[in-house]
Amino acid sequence: SPSSSSSSSSSSNNHDQIHNPDKSVDAGDSKEVTCIVDFDPSRLKQIEVPKRHRLPMDAQKKGIKPNDDFFTEYGEANRYQIQEVVGKGSYGVVGSAIDTQTGERVAIKKINDVFDHISDATRILREIKLLRLLLHPDVVEIKHIMLPPCRREFRDVYVVFELMESDLHQMIKANDDLTSEHHRFFLYQLLRGLKYVHAANVFHRDLKPKNILANADCKLKICDFGLARVSFNDAPSAIFWTDYVATRWYRAPELC
Active centre residues (catalytic): 206
Q: How far apart are CA 203 and CA 222, in angstroms?
A: 12
**DSSP result, 86-145:** EEEETTEEEEEEEETTT--EEEEEEETTTTS-HHHHHHHHHHHHHHHH---TTB--EEEE
Paired with 157 in beta bridges are 111
d(CA 8, CA 14): 10
122 close to 159: Cβ distance less than 8 angstroms: no
Query: How long, in residues, is the chain?
Result: 256
Dmax of the chain from CA atoms?
67
110 is in an annotated binding site: yes
Query: What CA–CA distances, in Å, run from 148 to 85, 107, 212, 236?
Result: 21, 18, 29, 37
Q: Which of 219, 244, 214 is nearest to 50 (CA)?
A: 214
- Which residues belong to the annotated binding site? 110
Pick out the residues of the known binding site for ATP: 110
